[in-house]
Structure 1
Amino acid sequence: MTLFDLHEEVALVTGAGSGIGQAIAIGLAEAGADIACFGHASKGGLEETAQKITALGRKALVLTGTVTSENDLAAAVERTEKELGALSIAVNNAGIAGAEPAETLSHEKWRKLYDVNVGGVFLSCQAEARTMLKRRKGSIINIASMSGSIVNRGLTQAHYNSSKAAVIHMSKSLAMEWADRGLRVNVVSPGYTLTPMNRRPEVAEQIKIFERDTPMGRMATPEEMVGPTVFLASRASSFVTGIDLIVDGGFVCW
């Protein structure tokens, strides 16, 4: 359907080297967009993502840097516009996770996670908005988590959960600030998802619990985050801003 067509659109995806970010970058290309893939050089995977995008007949640009650096983000946006065209879609997916009892969680670990998950998302939005607002056109999608709305049973991750809650409310705040200037800001909040981190043998038993506790009886695949993201990036959601779209197999209902 033309409502979901992203041809002639240019998207920047952070954390595009693996997992949900990689799936979304490829999925946006399948919908017709050209993609700038941004990520940390040491984590790899960006070239693989770019190759899969070009195999679809779309343009791909690999950009390395960190979302905690204003300079890296500004340079990424500048190169995207120079080499691919006007930036109209951004998916801010880069983030880190962690679990530790609150009483032993160090301030250093708390600060590091917040720097990436909250500060990094804000700086990304800021860099992207500075060019989108000039054209009065754009869609920013921030990837949070159902953990921003609920507390995961049996997991000690006060820093992670609260960081995702911050992303959700920050996104709503930005959406309202920019609503009358043509820029939409929304959130996709995945539930338990079979990313490479969750495919490790040492978490196999925990995965069984995640599947048991999800009403649909399984975890999501990274590719199942593509449809919601394409919806929020496209004209199909032209009157949608400031929402948190939870994609969790019904988990938060229980």
Structure 2
Amino acid sequence: MTCPAPVHIPTKDLFRLDGRTIFVSGGAGALGTTVGKAILESGGDVLFSDMSLPNVDTWREIEKTSTANRTKAFYYQLNATEADHFPKSFDTIRNMLRFPLRGLVACAGISGECDACDYPVDVFRKIVDVNLMGTFLIARAVAKEMHTANVTGSMVLVASMSGWVANKGINTAPYNASKSAIHQLTRSLAAEWGHPQNTFPGRTPGDANPNPDEERKPYPPIRVNSLSPGHIETPITDAAKQRGLQEHWEKQNMLGRISQPEEYRAPTLFLLAEGSSFMTGADLRVDGGHCAW
């Protein structure tokens, strides 16, 4: 199943998201709240989701933004790694929304610094579980909603420049590995959900295919891209500032500073909206030139 190229959309509307709902995981964090507000300003409703409740003042600003733009902001508390809760949660979410889910920004993620030889196994597994498995579970759940509604969609999986390079001077092996995995997850989901011809007919029987003879249904295409930020100044970086790491990070990119959450608004809107209609399976690296030295 293919969809025609959106050639008749006026240039001024290429970043618009009217008539659709975008799911933002990690929606209580600095990046999630910032890009979520940008989506509201661009005509889309936003379902913010996170393990923790949003800051009261921040949520008040989000509601002001949605009111000013005649859009809707919703919040749903969800642990992205608890797959058993997803069916019931999405039954509730579906009934909250005005418009079908047609987009995802997967921001939820954690990190932790430790030398590899000393890295606690349970902490390593948690980072991979949240960053990789949590992203996959959210993407799968949102894709199922798009399939049920028979609509096209676009997903932005937040990876990192750390998926391309090892971070100089700071030992974060599981974080780096999980973000590199997001790049490959992006390509794999983009291939699978882009067009039925991308998958060979039939299925090999096995634990993952209990019903190998079940026929696949064709669905409208879902584009999947990743966004790889560079270092971002957020409340989480306060400890790095105290150690003097920010000064080192600023010297490691071509612009001589670290980024602000607001600088990811336009890249995210571009990937979600029709401005990137022929872009899928790609990574948009926004790192101040860090990886281009």
Smaller-chain TM-score bracket: over 0.9
> Which residue of the partner structure matches residue 129 of structure 1?
143
1:144 has 2:156 as partner: no
> Which residue of the partner structure matches residue 224 of structure 1?
263
1:52-105 CA-to-partner distances (Å, cap 9, x unmatched) read 443433211110011001244444433333222210011111010111000000
> Which residue of the partner structure matches residue 38 of structure 2?
27
Deviation at 1:229, TM superposition (A): 0.7
Deviation at 1:47, TM superposition (A): 3.4
User: Does the 8 Å contact 1:22/1:49 carry over to 2?
Assistant: no
1:212-239 CA-to-partner distances (Å, cap 9, x unmatched) read 1111111111011111110010011111
Deviation at 1:30, TM superposition (A): 1.0
1:87 has 2:101 as partner: yes
Match runs of 1:74-223 below 5 Å? 74-84=87-97, 85-134=99-148, 135-180=150-195, 181=219, 182-200=221-239, 203=242, 205-223=244-262
What runs of 5+ residues in structure 1 fail to find an aligned partner? none
After TM superposition, the score normalised by the length of structure 2 is 0.82
**Greater helix fraction, Structure 1 or Structure 2:** 1
> Which residue of the partner structure matches residue 63 of structure 2?
51
What runs of 5+ residues in structure 2 fail to find an aligned partner? 1-11, 196-218
How many residues are treated as equivalent by the alignment? 254
In the alignment, the residues of structure 1 paired with residue 88 and residue 49 of structure 2 have an alpha-carbon distance, to the nearest angstrom, of 11
User: Does the 8 Å contact 1:50/1:62 carry over to 2?
Assistant: no
Q: Percent identity?
A: 32
After TM superposition, the score normalised by the length of structure 1 is 0.94
* Structure (1 or 2) with the larger CA radius of gyration: 2
Secondary structure at the counterpart of residue 103 of structure 1: helix
Change (3 A) 1:218 1:52: farther
Deviation at 1:118, TM superposition (A): 0.5
Taking only aligned residues, the RMSD between alpha carbons, in angstroms, comes to 1.8
Deviation at 1:200, TM superposition (A): 4.5
Deviation at 1:9, TM superposition (A): 1.4
Change (3 A) 1:156 1:52: farther
User: Does the 8 Å contact 1:193/1:221 carry over to 2?
Assistant: yes
Deviation at 1:136, TM superposition (A): 4.1
Deviation at 1:44, TM superposition (A): 4.7
Runs (4 or more) in structure 1 with deviation over 2 Å come to 41-57, 71-81, 199-204
